[in-house]
Structures are given as structure tokens and as C-alpha cells.
Amino acid sequence: MNFIQQLHAAQTLNDSLLCVGLDPEPSKFPGAWKGDASRIYDFCAAIVDATKDLVVSFKPQIAYFASHRAEDQLEQLMAHIKRVAPSVPVILDAKRGDIGSTAEQYAREAFERYQADAVTLSPFMGFDSIEPYLRYRDKGAILLCRTSNPGGSDWQNQRLADVAGQPRLYEHLARLAQTDWNQNGQLGLVVGATYPAEIARVRELAPTVPLLIPGVGAQGGDAEATVKAGWRAGAGGREGQGGPIIVSSSRAVLYASAGEDFAAAARRVALATRETLNAARR
């Protein structure tokens, strides 16, 4: 299956819109693991094992591994997810953005080294910075569109005077992701949970592409408002009926407890979040 098909299948199998972000911070690890970067794999694998039947996706953030020289642990974790949760697609949160041969190497890193099913990208440098990823026809490329950080408005919310209708930059990008750029049906968009009105606008402009929506939980995004803005009837059915939404929560799940029960606590928070998301769509 390609990435979009994997999302639909995982959504149905696990009855979930929830993505658990894997952003390991050793300073927050429990007990004897606290501060020990060599335990990054152990910590993340325990979270995966506790939540694998509750999620539509996992999303490891590459900087949290690379900053601790733990890329080998990320490779090990990716292999573990493929082994214990083969039906759950993995999004490598890398936000890469470069052109030509450099983009080719980043694509190889994401899809061959780490075996990710999709990767997040910055589209600031234009379509030729995206195209190398699209050569992997069964993989996904998820473009930053309307991000949850306050500074996102510095660029994303500005109007384009030389484009018909003077759309905002994020609106123009949403149209491109739905049409001209989405040559193989591989693109998705990142839209932050802290801006539900913009989520609704992106969904209007890009009705069939997946939306990766971070910001629920510790960042303050409202789960119910997020689903109502991005979910459309039919999105959970046959491929092509509607774009799925992937609602990501990281810290609220990972650090639900600082004790030895951290994995069980993570499961409880993930289960409660999944049920909140499902109630909003039903």
C-alpha cells in the first residue's frame, strides 16, 4: 500500500485519528533512565508498545535523536515499529527543505535509511525541492502550510499580490498541494491545531489531501475544534472519498508520568485523546 492507503487502513483498524509524536528528551525520562541518552530507544519503544493499537501513525522527530548522536537508535526504533505495528505508518518529522542533489540525499535518508512512510518538508524553495521525494511513489511528502507557532504568521498569513484573488501564502500552498504539485497523489499538509479556522480553510481548498495537525495537548490545541475543522464525512471510507486527518500529540502522551508507570500512563492519555477525537467526528 502507498502512504495514503496505509493511513486509511490504520484509521479503520485502530479506530483512530491520533498520531503519537516521538520527541524523546532524556531529561524527562523516568527513574534511573533520567538524563541517559542511551535509553532513547528503550523509552520510545515502550511508548510504541503501549499505544500501537490506539494510533493512526507515529511521528519521530529527527532532531531529538540527532542532537544526542542517537541516529542509530532512531533506525532501531523504526525497525521496531515496522515489526510490532506493521499496519501503522511512520512519519519522519524532519522538515527538510533543499533542492537538487541535496534533496535527493535527504529523500534517501528518510525513505531508505530510516524506512519512513512519509516525511515532513518545508516548501519554501518551491516544487523542485519537493520533486525528489515524489520519485518514491509509495511514500508521502507532508508540506508545512499553516503551522502552530506564533511566528508562522510572519510569512504564511501574508497575501500574494501577483496571484489571482490575492490569497494568503498558506492558501496558495494548499491549492498547489491539492492540484498542480500533487502529481502522484502523495502530498499532505501540516496545519496547526492552534488555528482551527485556518484548518477549515485549508480543508476547503484541499479536500482530499491528508492533514497532519500538531499542537493538541501541551501546545494548547483543542481536540474537538480541530476535528470539527478538518474532518469531513467520508474521510474514513474508501480511498479518495476524503482526506484523512492525523492529529498529533507528543509531550502530553510521552510524559504523562515521570514514574515507572510511564508507559501505562502514556496509554491512558492516548486512549482518552483517541476517544475525544472520535467523539468529535461522530
Average pLDDT along the chain = 93
28, 82, 95, 228: which one is catalytic? 95
- Mean pLDDT (whole number) for 258-267: 96
For 7-48, write each residue's pLDDT tens digit.
Answer: 999 999 999 999 999 999 999 999 999 999 999 999 999 999
Lowest mean pLDDT among 4-18, 149-163, 218-232, 265-279: 218-232
Give Cβ neighbours of residue 261 (< 8 Å, ≥ 6 apart): none
Concatenated DSSP letters of 28-60: G--GGGTT-GGGHHHHHHHHHHHHTTS-SEEEE
Backbone angles phi, psi at 141, to 5 degrees: -130, 115
- Mean pLDDT (whole number) for 139-152: 92
- Mean pLDDT (whole number) for 107-124: 98
For 220-260, write each residue's pLDDT tens digit.
Answer: 678 888 898 999 865 554 444 579 999 999 999 999 999 99
pLDDT over 90 (residue 262): yes
What is the percentage of the chain residues whose pLDDT exceeds 90? 80
- CA–CA–CA angle 107, 108, 110 (5° rounding): 65
Q: Give the pLDDT score at 234.
A: 59
Q: Give the pLDDT score at 179.
A: 96
Q: Give the pLDDT score at 70.
A: 98
- Mean pLDDT (whole number) for 137-159: 91
Delimit the domains of the chain by residue range: 3-281
Looking at domain 3-281, its CATH architecture is: Alpha-Beta Barrel (3.20)
Q: Give the pLDDT score at 235.
A: 57
Is 95 one of the annotated active-site residues of the chain? yes
Q: Give the pLDDT score at 240.
A: 42
Note the pTM of the prediction, 2 decimals. 0.94
For 50-93, write each residue's pLDDT tens digit.
Answer: 999 999 999 999 999 999 999 999 999 999 999 999 999 999 99
Separation in Å, CA 219 to CA 123, 145, 192, 223: 24, 18, 10, 11
Going by pLDDT thresholds of 50, 70 and 90, the confidence category of residue 157 is confident
Give Cβ neighbours of residue 267 (< 8 Å, ≥ 6 apart): 50, 51, 54
Question: Using CA atoms, how far apart are residues 94 and 101, in angstroms rounded to an integer?
Answer: 17
- Mean pLDDT (whole number) for 183-212: 94
